Chain A
Amino acid sequence: MKKTHIIGILVIAVAIVIIMSSVGDASTYVSFGEAMELAEEGNDTKVHVVGRLKKDSQGHIVGMQYDPLIDPNYFTFTLVDTNRVEQQVVYFNPKPQDFERSEQVVITGSMQKNVFVADKILLKCPSKYVEKEVQQNTASL
């Protein structure tokens, strides 16, 4: 066998390892129900959950708690996933500043006991994506 063939086989082997391992590392977007099932099976791989904040009829956010004076590294809130399942989420970091304004929240983490421990929060604020309207009060007449 020529040396180039051996190298070629090695390259293909490494490429396959890369693909397999990347597929294994790839996370998924799941619902809280699936996240719970994974946790019950003892699988603690991290998943993505997309949801909205729980709000009452007046539009106030419910179940959000952050008091930096007691503990700056503890933030908890309730997220409602796309299947309307509510779940308490804990984030051991300071609360993101524009959290209340977000339309949609993507969290990464896993279920631990009965709470979802998030290690990353990605906010989608409408203002970040939709251009602001021109404000009338900037009019120069």
Chain B
Amino acid sequence: MINTLIGDIGHTSVIVAFVAAVVSSYAYFMASRSKVELSGDNSWRNLARGAFYVHGAAVMMIIFSLFNIIYEHRYEYYYAWSHSSNHLPVYYMISCFWEGQEGSFLLWIFWHVLLGFVLINSYKKNKVWEAPVMAMFSFVQLFLTSMILGVVIGDVKIGSSPFILMRDFMPEAPVFAMDPNFVPTDGTGLNPLLQNYWMVIHPPTLFLGFAATLVPFAFAMAGLWKGKFTEWVKPALPWAHFAAVVLGIGIIMGAYWAYETLNFGGYWNWDPVENAVYIPWLILVGGIHTMIAYRRGKSGLKATYILVIASFLLILYATFLTRSGILGNASVHSFTDLGLSGQLFAYLAVFAVLAIGLLVYRWKFIPTTEKELSTYNGEFWVFIGAIVLCLAAFQVLFTTSIPVYNSFLGFIGIESNAALPADQIEHYTKFQLWGGVAIAILSGVAQLLWWRKGEKESFADALTLPAMLTLLFASLIIVLSKLGVLNDTIDNPAYITLLVAGLFSIFANLSIILNLIHKKVSLSGGAVAHIGIAMMLLGILFSSGYSNIISENTSGMVYSREFPDELNRDNVLLWRNAPVQMDKYTVSYHGQFQEVIGVPGYVDRELLFLTADPYKAIARGQIVANEKVYFDTGDTLELLSPENTYYEVKYKERETGKAFTLYPRAQVNENMGLLASPDIKHSVSMDLYTHVSGLAPEEKEWGELKEYVLSAGDTIILNDYVAIFNGIEQIKQVPGVKLAPGDIAVQADMKILGETKNYHAHPVLMIKDQMMGRVPEEVADLGLRLTFMNIDTENDKFTIGVNATQKDWIILKAMEKPFVSILWIGTIVMSIGFVMAIVRRKDEGGSPRAAKPKQARKAQVA
């Protein structure tokens, strides 16, 4: 039966949330007016605050309703039907909650609400900022909630509601003409690529980062608006750090998800959707640097305004890019157009006009210092660093926007056929590599100058030790690589430069930390974060620059086709159980495995008798893992995800004899083709990354049935294998069949001698309800199917039918990625540095305790 109540609750809550956001932003606006502020009248503020709390409560109600629809499998709702399915575990229900655009907007809205609550309550003693900052918050919420309104006025559609019913979404479907109360029994499920634990935690992190960029922006706007041109920096700074670290972690989580789940062979593909979040992050980090420089030297406030405002506008631009469908031709994973592009553009345009307009209007009031910065001054180099970050961001922005230029030119009637660069990785690397070099060097130099307060001699002294260590270690690494200790020789000048720069940044910042340990270690957050960044750069350098495909085709096939040129024959074909030499390994493929609930690791599909319900199987034999028996023959098993197959690939290092097994995953999805996920062997110095890039067809073509009449003990040759017929035995159970009293089942016992091991096959012949039934047995490893055809009891002869087929195979691609672990460790180090900086800036700045003396002084002046 259709439950319309929960959808109505949800939809009503959206409307309430929208109206409350309108009221709250208007009331906060009124409360921010100087006249109201001076009069001490709190009524506007109280109204606004109340409205924001109502808004927050309504948002929680929307989330509850939508999650209830998904959790209770209410497929009368389009959102549940198109994103969820009956077998989805709860943690993936959470990710299907935000798989759709509407849900991801909700996630964003939710974080704004929480941040809003924190802001309302964190300046209890000092109410200066609440009204103007929250006015901005509510105003943003007004736009965001309008995206999920789902209201049609005339021809204008405002927002897309997640609470739309199936019959309203596709009214022309014949099912609904027959039965308007029709409810599908199952949903279409979550995109299999998103069925990964990173997809459960990565989007909330990213959206918290998105949401957090609003805080410094709102402070900057409040500062401009209220004429508090300098005071906003202090409370905004820890928030800017918070936004940068959360967004940064979110970006890296996405990269790690791609590394683990997608098969493009890396963690960063320069896909427009990836770029869209990278650009604002760079700008925001640049903004943090100018803010810090301003806090110390009182210069660069205008630059700070520009960068903080730009980072938020670029978040909106990113939203527009990924959700308007404008990248449809250019990106694999942008959302499709929901008809919201106009609304998204309006959102972007309103804030761009508002922010830039206000900035221009107030520009001449923003204080500047006339003092010229000395080259021996830390702040000067911090500015240069911010400029490099901006240029790096600009380069990514300029190229990523190519599809936008196309549509814009098309819009004004000029035809343009520009496409993104054919080799994106090469294109972006060309610039970003040097950006990385500059940032590494500047972060070292600027840190040294910053803490030395810029006297020439002491700077030269400070520089000596890190520079010496850098040259020592860099030459050591290069020499080692020449001697063949590392897998590759490091001789590319650009890579050597990045190596030297990265090492310099690490040593310079380490020397800062060592110095600060004696004084005040809590100040070293910046140095720690910079070490993290330098480690990330080095990790990227080794893992990408020296990534090595090892699955080159060594089959010795002669190319007699068009091109004898050097080609990347990057994939290798593996026959089941036939080892192949690949680089320093011997690899072999050993069959298809499945995940069974309650059994650790993977279970060989040959042990599973599949049933009509794809999620259930019957054990053909004992299911053993780690020498423990989990299931006995005949037990019913539950499969975790039957569409995913794991391919067992054994690696053996020929020199050392070390062996390990990888299980790359793949599924053939009817909508999306082959979805392959790698399996990765991690080690300290190297990741071995293996994925399947082609599969033998699922439907096997069986050869003609050949019949053999055998007596117990006979030996025959099948498909080049020796097979021994041991005899027959009566059995009480047949997997998947219910035997009634009077039914008889017998199985033949065949032993087949394979290359590496022996196989037992037990084809079954039964008489059930006076009908003859046969359950053939397949030995996939050998490409054989045995059928017990008949029994001649008088002569003790048995007829066995045999079909042969081509053996199973997979196409494999494998690559080595050196020192990719340094990238992930660097991310953690960077985050620790950021957190240290947040703690320090919070203690120093925003707290009421620190604010007091300032107020007192003001009072004296007054």
Chain A residues at the B interface, C-beta cutoff of 8 Å: 2-4, 7, 11, 14-15, 18-19, 21-22, 25-30, 45-48, 68-74, 90, 92-99, 101, 106, 108-109, 112-113, 115, 117, 119-120, 122-123, 125, 127-129, 131-134, 136, 138-141
Contact = CB atoms under 8 A, between A and B. Distances in A.
Interface in B147-196: 166, 170, 173-175, 179, 182-186, 188
Given A73-B569, A92-B567, A134-B170, A26 B418 contact: yes
Given A28-B418, A113-B562, 15 more contacts: A3-B375, A15-B391, A21-B431, A22-B399, A25-B399, A26-B399, A27-B420, A29-B419, A71-B557, A74-B559, A92-B568, A96-B673, A98-B672, A139-B179, A140-B183
B775 interface: no
Contacts of B182: 139
B468 interface: no
Nearest to B184: A138
8 contacts: A19-B398, A22-B427, A28-B417, A29-B418, A68-B809, A94-B693, A117-B563, A131-B82
Interface stretch (B570-578, B730-738, B842-850): B570-578
Nearest to B565: A112
B188 A18 contact: no
A30 B419 CA distance: 10
10 cross-chain pairs, A with B, having the tightest CB-CB distances, nearest first: A98-B673, A46-B422, A97-B674, A97-B673, A94-B694, A27-B419, A25-B421, A29-B417, A27-B422, A73-B569
Given A26-B402, A94-B694, A115-B562, A48 B422 contact: yes
Interface string B542-583: 000000000001000101011100011111110000000000
- Interface of B, secondary structure class, is loop
A28 B406 CA distance: 11
Contact of A26 (B387, B419, B559, B674): B419
Contacts of A96: 673-674
B395 interface: yes
Interface of B: 81-82, 166, 170, 173-175, 179, 182-186, 188, 329, 332, 336, 372-373, 375, 384, 387, 391, 394-395, 398-399, 402, 417-423, 427, 430-431, 553, 557, 559, 561-563, 567-573, 668, 670-674, 693-695, 809, 811
B494 to A, nearest CB: 15
Nearest to B573: A72
Nearest to A70: B557
Contacts of A129: 336
A117 B336 CA distance: 30
A139 B178 CA distance: 11
A68 B811 contact: yes
Contacts of B557: 70-71
Nearest to A120: B422
Contact of A14 (B391, B427, B430, B672): B391
A136 B182 CA distance: 10
A57 B695 CA distance: 29
Contacts of B174: 136
B372 A27 contact: no
Contacts of B417: 28-30
Contacts of A117: 563
A123 B671 CA distance: 12
Given A94-B811, A139-B182, A140-B183, A123 B673 contact: yes
A106 B329 contact: yes
A106 B569 CA distance: 22
B796 to A, nearest CB: 42
Contacts of A14: 391
B422 A127 contact: no
B672 A128 contact: yes
Nearest to B675: A97
Nearest to B567: A92
Contacts of B811: 68, 72, 94
Nearest to B185: A140
A79 B618 CA distance: 47
B387 A11 contact: yes
B506 to A, nearest CB: 26
Contacts of B402: 26
A136 B175 contact: yes
Contacts of B81: 134
Contacts of A22: 395, 398-399, 421, 427
A90 B422 contact: no
A45 B421 CA distance: 10
B562 A90 contact: yes
A94 B693 CA distance: 7
B750 to A, nearest CB: 28
A15 B173 CA distance: 54
A116 B419 CA distance: 18
Nearest to A129: B336
Contacts of A94: 571, 693-694, 811
Given A27-B421, A115-B562, A138-B184, A125 B553 contact: no
A19 B398 CA distance: 7
A117 to B, nearest CB: 7
B562 A18 contact: no
B574 to A, nearest CB: 10
B185 A138 contact: yes
Nearest to A96: B673
Contact of B563 (A29, A45, A72, A112): A112
B166 A134 contact: yes
A74 B391 contact: no
Contacts of B184: 134, 138-140
Nearest to A31: B417
A63 to B, nearest CB: 14
Contacts of B375: 3
B387 A7 contact: yes
B403 to A, nearest CB: 11
Contacts of A48: 419, 422
Given A22-B395, A26-B399, A127 B694 contact: no
B668 A97 contact: yes
A54 B394 CA distance: 42
B419 A128 contact: no
**Could you say which of B174, B186, B671 has the most chain A C-beta atoms within 10 Å of its C-beta?**
B671
Given A3-B373, A48-B422, A71-B557, A11 B570 contact: no
**Could you say which of B179, B557, B668 has the most chain A C-beta atoms within 10 Å of its C-beta?**
B557
B793 to A, nearest CB: 44
A106 to B, nearest CB: 7
A132 B671 contact: yes
A132 B188 contact: yes
Contacts of B173: 133-134
Nearest to B176: A134
A74 B558 CA distance: 12
Contacts of A113: 562
A139 B185 CA distance: 7
Nearest to B418: A26
Contacts of A73: 553, 567-571
Given A68-B694, A94-B693, A132-B188, A25 B427 contact: yes
**Could you say which of B174, B419, B573 has the most chain A C-beta atoms within 10 Å of its C-beta?**
B419
B694 A95 contact: yes
Given A106-B329, A120-B422, A7 B384 contact: yes
Nearest to A131: B82
Contacts of B391: 11, 14-15, 18
Contacts of A101: 673
Nearest to B330: A122
Contacts of B394: 15, 18
**Could you say which of B81, B336, B568, B694 has the most chain A C-beta atoms within 10 Å of its C-beta?**
B694
A124 to B, nearest CB: 9
A22 B402 CA distance: 10
Contacts of A2: 372
A88 to B, nearest CB: 9
A99 B672 CA distance: 10
A79 to B, nearest CB: 16
Contacts of B671: 125, 127-128, 132
